[in-house]
Amino acid sequence: MSVSTDLITLSAAQMADKLAAGEITSVELTQAHLDRIAAVDGVVHAFLHVNTEEALAVAAEVDAARAAGQSLHRLAGVPIAIKDLIVTVGQPTTAGSRILEGWMSPYDATVIEKIRAAKLPILGKTNLDEFAMGSSTEHSAFGDTHNPWDLDRIPGGSGGGSAAAVAAFEAPLALGTDTGGSIRQPAAVTGTVGVKPTYGGVSRYGAIAMASSLDQIGPCARTVEDAALLHELIGGHDPKDSTSLVDPVAAFAAAAADGDVTGLRIGVVTDLQGEGYQAGVLDRFGEALDLLREAGAEIVEVSCPHFRYALGAYYLIMPSEVSSNLAKFDGVRYGLRTLPTEGPLTIERVMAATRAAGFGAEAKRRIILGTYALSAGYYDAYYGSAQKVRTLVQRDFDAAFERVDILISPTAPTTAFRLGEKTDDPLAMYLNDVATIPANLAGVPGLSLPSGLATEDGLPAGIQLLAPAREDERLYRAGAALERLLVHRWGGPLLAQAPDLAEAASLTTTGGDK
Ligand code: GLN
């Protein structure tokens, strides 16, 4: 392996240590990632925009500051990729949609301000399903992202670009957003770690809103400790987000460092397994439970009887909020403007032509569904009922957390499916989120980490830990402990078993078979 290949396979924490010790510079580290992007992103397509010059300039700044003896953030100089739903000055933000193609934000999201203040070079913006609607990244207006484990398969969604970038060693860290699972499910199918923080734990200011009562920005990484470090950096109160919690950010990285499950009561959600779950996913899940038991955790079964209605409630509440949040994309204020080809040039007709041309099929489907659910006459039957179910799901969590400290389930029912397999079947696509959605409805935090490779297809499966609101720290403590046990069993990180992408990329560029 070349020096730069070795560098990019380190964890973000290890990179930070090498930077602090003066063994490497941030310019070297950032260049190594840019080289990797140049080498493999042609086949992965995780990035919509690569921010070469600015990333190297920030890296040089970090190196100079370090040489001058300035005190720096632990992650200073460690590069990061950003889901293209989060607004950034100086780089385009598309939300994966034609309607925002070429749009440049005049301001930074709060999480971006924090990342800039801590001096993490931003490598670029990653691909996603349009406005974060989807589970496969196939709803992006700018092409598919490919799963680094098997380039014919989906990387999950909506944040498939961020997860694939991290899995393909194009970035050690990335930001995602999770409305119904878009950080955790891509993590599960790419063998990476993803966390949806407690609702309000990370500012949403500058994350283009999909469904405001469900959306949450969170970390994508290759280890639990790395996710904890990034979460600590981006978390905390923000007066610009009225739903932001005022709590101080807990010591997530310290919790990950002393990862422990001794005496922890862990509840297996019986409603999130069984029918529809792939055998290999359940096998790896069961083995992880055995490891936790051997390590001193108490494993009990817990039923959350209303979880079975969560998916249905989500697919009414989320589109209702989508229909309202996406009303502002009208050809007047942002991005695309399309003029009607015939008839009078009225403002309504310009808006209609712009929205017809700018939104993809899934965005339109959800806008129509949400508008219908909110319409007078149907409001109580659909939106009102869904909100009641949401309360019942929250009560299931409350009751479960009286009995146990954390809950556990597979993250997604299956491993990565093939590109194109579910694009014509929205309901099959929606079913991917069956295990991740309850956390968004209740606002509680969730962490996904790899549980191993499913025997039948050799692809990564994910395991999800859930904690009560504001107890994200528990996820890092337990998640890091489980990760340690699993890595020991695998004899090294799971991603070390992923195929060599550089080879696939060179075969493609030389015209060989994939
Ligand atoms: N896959 C889910 C959906 O399509 C979740 C999306 C998300 O979390 N942004 O709505």
Nearest-10 Cα torsion for 133, 318, 437, 210: 50
375 is catalytic: no
How far, in Å, is the centroid of ligand 1 from the Cα of 157? Answer: 7
Q: Does some domain include residue 253?
A: yes
DSSP states along 471-493: -HHHHHHHHHHHHHHHHHHHTS-
**CA 211 to ligand 1: nearest atom:** 9
How far, in Å, is the centroid of ligand 1 from the Cα of 84? Answer: 15
CA atoms within 13 A on the CB side of 111: 31
Bridge partners of 450, per DSSP, are 462
Nearest alpha-carbon partner for 483 in 191, 237, 266, 165:
191
The one-character DSSP state at 197 is P
pLDDT recorded at residue 511: 44
- Ligand 1 pocket member 160 (CB < 6 A): no
- Ligand 1 pocket member 138 (CB < 6 A): no
Residue from 127, 433, 464 to probe ligand 1 pocket by mutation (most atoms less than 8 Å from CB) = 433
- This prediction has a pTM of 0.97
Q: Does some domain include residue 134?
A: yes
Let me know if 393 is exposed, middle or buried by CB neighbors in 10 A (0-12, 13-18, 19+): buried
pLDDT recorded at residue 509: 59
Q: Which of 83, 119, 125, 196 is catalytic?
A: 83
- Ligand 1 pocket member 179 (CB < 6 A): yes
Asked if residues 449 and 193 have their Cβ atoms less than 8 Å apart, the reply is yes
- Which amino acid type is present at position 161? G
- Ligand 1 pocket member 162 (CB < 6 A): no
Which positions ≥6 away from 381 have C-beta within 8 Å?
A: none
Buried b (16+ CB within 10 A) or exposed e, 163-192: bbbbbbbbbbbbbbbbbbbbbbbbbbbbbb
Regions of the chain with pLDDT less than 50: 1, 511-514
Residue nearest to atom 10 of ligand 1 (CA): 133
Main-chain dihedrals φ then ψ at residue 126, nearest 5 degrees: -105, 155
- Ligand 1 pocket member 318 (CB < 6 A): yes
Let me know if 339 is exposed, middle or buried by CB neighbors in 10 A (0-12, 13-18, 19+): exposed
How far, in Å, is the centroid of ligand 1 from the Cα of 464? Answer: 16
- Ligand 1 pocket member 158 (CB < 6 A): yes
Residue from 131, 138, 162, 182 to probe ligand 1 pocket by mutation (most atoms less than 8 Å from CB) = 182
Structural domain including 104 reads: 3-307+391-495
pLDDT recorded at residue 376: 86
How far, in Å, is the centroid of ligand 1 from the Cα of 132? Answer: 6
CA-CA distance, 282 to 463, in Å (whole number)?
Answer: 10
Consecutive H or E run containing 381:
none
What CATH number has the domain bearing residue 133? Answer: 3.90.1300.10
182 is catalytic: yes
pLDDT recorded at residue 333: 85
Q: Does some domain include residue 248?
A: yes
- Ligand 1 pocket member 187 (CB < 6 A): no
How far, in Å, is the centroid of ligand 1 from the Cα of 181? Answer: 6
Q: Does some domain include residue 356?
A: no
pLDDT recorded at residue 182: 98
DSSP tally for the chain: helices H, then strands E: 18, 11
How far, in Å, is the centroid of ligand 1 from the Cα of 452? Answer: 24
pLDDT recorded at residue 4: 60
Give the total number of structural domains in the chain: 1
By residue count, the chain amounts to: 514
240 is catalytic: no
**CA 134 to ligand 1: nearest atom:** 4
**CA 315 to ligand 1: nearest atom:** 10
Q: Which of 97, 105, 135, 158 is catalytic?
A: 158
pLDDT recorded at residue 460: 98
C-alpha to C-alpha distances, 403 to 99, 297, 385, 469, 472, nearest whole angstrom: 48, 14, 28, 15, 18
pLDDT recorded at residue 513: 40
- Ligand 1 pocket member 93 (CB < 6 A): no
pLDDT recorded at residue 514: 34
How far, in Å, is the centroid of ligand 1 from the Cα of 70? Answer: 42
Q: Does some domain include residue 460?
A: yes
Asked if residues 166 and 436 have their Cβ atoms less than 8 Å apart, the reply is no
pLDDT recorded at residue 56: 98
- Ligand 1 pocket member 110 (CB < 6 A): no
CA-CA distance, 59 to 78, in Å (whole number)?
Answer: 8
3-state secondary structure 102-167: CCECCCCCHHHHHHHHCCCCEEEEECCCHHHCCCCCCCCCCCCCCECCECCECCCCCCHHHHHHHH
Q: Does some domain include residue 378?
A: no
Q: Does some domain include residue 425?
A: yes
Q: Which of 182, 244, 409, 451 is catalytic?
A: 182
